[in-house]
Structure formats: structure tokens, C-alpha cells
Structure 1
Amino acid sequence: MATKNTVEVVIAGKVFRISGYETPEYLHQVSVYINEKLAQFQQMEGYRKQNTDQKQMMLNMNLADDFFKAKRQADKLSAELEKKEREMYGIRHDLIEAQMANEKLETEKKELKERLTAQKKEAETKLNEEKKALEEALAAQKKELEAKLEGQKQEAVEKLDSKKQASERERQELKRTIEGLERSLENQKKASEAQRQNSHKKLEEQNQAAQKRMAEQKRSFEGEIDRLERENRELLRKLGQRSYT
């Protein structure tokens, strides 16, 4: 059960003894508030002119006004608090739902991880089996290819030997052809040399004949020149004789 407190307070210069279940500090705060209100009214000239009953009524009206304003503010704050509490409730509800969804997601994540691990293991097993089968198939293909290549190699060697023999015959034939061409070239060379010597001899003979003709023509020209000079001297002599006569 709450304890009732009794305190002495001073209101309007008078001492009053009041009791209540509130704390002494609160009761003193109430008396201070009333004294502040009285001090405010005492500063008003209109209040000082009123009689005691009128002053008490004005004080009571003002205190009631403060009370209702405070109550309205408190109601407003209470409504806002209630609204905030509802919002907080909604937030807590959303938070709980989010937490549940997160737990569900974690569970699904764990299950998915387990499935992925199992699928990975299964895929690795399948991959190893396929790899083994592929290696066996490649080994078989390699063996078959080696056998095929060996056969082709043997066939190529036989063809090469055959071509080599044919090439040897062609080489011998080509050698004979070259020897024939060399003999023909030698004969042509000898014939050309003989023709050159014959041509040189003919040129020498033609040169000598030409020199002989030139010498004869030179002697003929010199004789003609001598004749012309004699005639010229004779003509000059005759002309000289005519000039004297």
C-alpha cells in the first residue's frame, strides 16, 4: 500500500500543510507552480483591482485552462505513443516474419547445398565413367589408326621403291640423252669453228682483193691527177704567152 506524505508549503505568503500519495518533491513543485501563477497575475493591473472571489475564480480558470491544455497535449502524446506502439508492433511482426523467412531461406539454402553436393558427386562419378570410356575408345582408335598408318606406310614404301626403279630408268635414259646432246653440241661446235675459219679465210681473201683494188684505184687516181696537173700547167703556160703578145 502506498504511503501518504505530508509537507508544509508556502502559497501566497501563507504556510499550508498538505498531504498526498505523491512524493514530497512533487507536492513542493505543485506549490511552486501555484506561486508562479499568482506572481503572474499580481503583475496584471486588472487582476489587482478585482475582489478576492473574482481573483480566486480567475486563478482557478487559468489553472483549469493549463490543466486542459496539458491534458490535451498528454492525450495527443498518448495517441502518438499508441500509434508508435502499433507501428512498433507492425515492425516487430514484420521482423518476426522476416526472421521466419530468413530461417526458411537458410533451411532451403542448406537443402539446396546438400542437393548440389549430391549432384556434384553424381556428376563427378558420371564424368569419370565417361572419361574412362572415352580413354578406352581413344586407345582403340589409336591402335586402329596405328595399324592403318603402318599399312599405308608399307604401301608408300612399296610405291617409293617402284618409283625409285622407274626413276633410275629415267635417269639412265636422261643420261644417254644428255650424252647425245653433248656429242651433238661438240659436232656443232666443230662445224662452227670450221665455218668460222672458212669465213675468216674468205674475209682475208676479200680484204686482200679490196686492198689490191684500192691500190690500183690509187695509182689510177694519181695518174689522173698527174695528167690534170700537166694539163693545168700547159694551160697556164699558154695563157701566159697570150698575155705577153
Structure 2
Amino acid sequence: MLRWLRERYLLVLGSIYIYNEHRGYTAIDRVIEAVRARTPDDRALIAAIESHRGDERKHYMMFRRWFERRGSMPLDVDRTFGHIDRFVEIVFRTPIDKLDTQAVIDRDELFERLCRVIALTERRGYKQVETLLKNRFVLDDPILTRIFRIIHKDEPSHWAPYEAWLVAHGRRRPRWWERAIDAFIHSELLFIKLPWLFLNPWVGRRTAWPDARDDEAYGDRPLAAHAAA
């Protein structure tokens, strides 16, 4: 019974992470697009966000290889389990895929809002990884433990460029209500969605890897970040 619980927990955990890592780097493609249009001469910011994108892609590939070694596919989870998905939907009142990139480019207040959302999401991810690195089931899997240690090392550089932009441009830091949204999304996932996924035997497996359609979805965008993948 304990072995089944462990394997089910790791399956659910890995499925949620591989979705979020894939969503992370594909969403960052749009951020890079906006930054290149807004401030094409700010090479330091562009490079930092491209590095963030590269790390998210690297993390995704580590989870994919973890599943491949296990000879299985992740559970077929969708944006319901995405932290950044929920945050953008609440703050911008639209799904990420329908976010008006041109409006974000044109309006400082929207880009500022997006920077706060990304920074809060990355900080939340860092805290969650610290918790998982104390989890018995995770520590029993040496490969998964190594993956989370790498993520823990990479994570601080991910929120840094967005917070630095806010400071450099005299923009405000996140307010209590934005932090409350972040905490609500995390609690919703931890206490409602994750147990539901864990206990639901009818959730199927993916039949293809999340990145199978990356070229089709993002290949027409002239982003140098693709070279980092």
C-alpha cells in the first residue's frame, strides 16, 4: 500500500510539474516578444529573460527524461493545474493564450502587472521546491531529488529580472491582494486539485509529450530564445 501511495504521489507530482515547466517556457516566449518590442536596446533584460526561458525548458526536459526512464507518460493535466495560468486569468481576466501581447507592449501598467505576476509565481515555486526537498517520497527517488535540487539552485535568478525592472522604473512591489491571490492559487492546488487528481482513477495519461507541438505553436515567432532550447 505504501509503495502504491508513493508511486501515485510521484506520478501526480511529476505530471503537474512537467505541465507547468512546459507552460512556463512557452509563455516566456511571449514575454520576450514584448520586451524586444518595448525595449530592444535593453540587452541585459532580454538576456536574463532568455536565460529564464532556457532554464524552464531544461527543467521540462529533466522531467520528461524522468518519465521516460520510468517507461510511462504523465497524467493528462491541463491549465487547471497551472499556477501561472490561474494567476494570469485572475489578474488579467483572460487565459494566457488569449492575453493581448500588443496591449502589454503598449501599456506600461500592463507590463508592470505581468512582471509582478511572474516574480510572485517564481518565488512561490522556490518555496514549494524547498518543501519538496524535505518530502520522504521525493527523497526516496534520487533522480527526482537531483531534479529539484537543480531547480532550487536555478530559481532565484528567475524572479530577479522582473523585480529589477520594477525597481529600475520606479514601479511598485506586489501588494497584499496580489500576494493573497498567489496564496489562494497555491492553497487551491494543494488542498483541492492535487487530492482530486490523486484520488481520481479516471484521469488518463498523455498520448504525446507537451512539447510535441512547440514548433507548430511557436515556430513562426522570430525569437532567439528558441536557439537556447
- TM-score interval, smaller chain: under 0.3
Larger radius of gyration: 1
Task: Name which structure has the greater RCO, CA cutoff 8 Å, separation 6+.
Answer: 2
TM-score by length of 2: 0.19
More strand by share: 1
More helix by share: 1
